[in-house]
Copies of this chain bind each other. A is one copy, B any other.
């Protein structure tokens, strides 16, 4: 984007830029509609209307609602993955790493509540075994793998992959679950205030989980 083709690094023409802009408008509109009335209730026409483009245009950019949803989830997970990845080799033990992980999730969700709602819904779909499942499961798995990479150095050498996966599922679930209540009942200040004890519990719980 930004006037330069991602793949070739050659300057893009106006046509390509226009197409990119339209695609973006569709993604933005879809994210809004998905998080306002839910993915299921969102029809293609509601999305194109919101994006202020013709219905046919939608199908020039996406095969169907599924692939649009997938693109959005991919993007959100990618953002989240970047956020929770420690670029610097920060010092500290397992507890410190977990605390950082927790904080980075909360900050991300506070900054991008729509992405949170979207990922939350997507997770529900996987749980419900909907037809969308196959396609959207991959980014969630990548996310779990990112979590596992973050913890890798702290885990005992011979730990079974199943156990590790259980641990990362638990972390993801806890963080998402905690935040789901924060978004309904609490103000931003209250979220931050009630954060500390919950985070402590989270870290203690996970450390105990690992100790077994």
Residues on A lying within 8 angstroms of B by beta carbon are: 35-38, 40-41, 117, 120-121, 123-125, 127-130, 165-166, 168-170, 172-174, 176-186, 190, 194, 197-198, 200-202, 204-205, 208-209
Most buried by B among A166, A168, A180, A208: A180
A183 to B177, CA, bound (A): 11
Q: Pick the contact of A177 from B41, B178, B205, B208 — CB < 8 Å?
A: B178
Q: A198 and B201: CB pair below 8 A?
A: yes
Residues of B within 8 A of A169 (CB): 181, 184-186
Closest chain-B Cβ to A41's Cβ sits at a distance in Å of 6
Q: DSSP majority for the A interface?
A: helix
Point out the residue from B38, B165, B181 that lies within 8 Å of A40, measured CB to CB: B38
Q: Are B186 and A197 in contact, with the CB atoms below 8 A?
A: no
Which residue in B130, B166, B173, B204 is a CB contact (below 8 Å) of A180? B173
Report chain B residues within 8 Å CB of A209: 194
Per assembly, the copies of the chain total: 2
Which chain B positions have C-beta within 8 A of A177?
A: 176-181
User: Are A184 and B40 touching (Cβ within 8 A)?
Assistant: no
Rounded to whole Å, the gap between the CB of A99 and the closest CB of chain B is 14
A125 CA to B124 CA, complexed, in Å: 13
A sample of 30 cross-chain residue pairs with beta-carbon separation below 8 angstroms, ordered by A number, consists of A35-B128, A36-B129, A38-B40, A38-B128, A38-B130, A40-B41, A41-B130, A124-B124, A127-B184, A166-B185, A168-B185, A170-B185, A170-B194, A172-B185, A173-B180, A173-B182, A173-B185, A176-B181, A177-B178, A177-B181, A180-B180, A194-B205, A194-B208, A197-B201, A198-B201, A198-B205, A200-B201, A201-B201, A201-B202, A201-B205
A181 to B179, CA, bound (A): 12
Complex Cα distance, B170 from A177, in Å, reads 12
A41-B130, A165-B185, A201-B201 known, 13 other contacts, Cβ within 8 Å: A38-B40, A117-B127, A120-B124, A170-B185, A170-B186, A172-B185, A173-B185, A174-B178, A176-B177, A176-B180, A177-B179, A180-B180, A194-B208
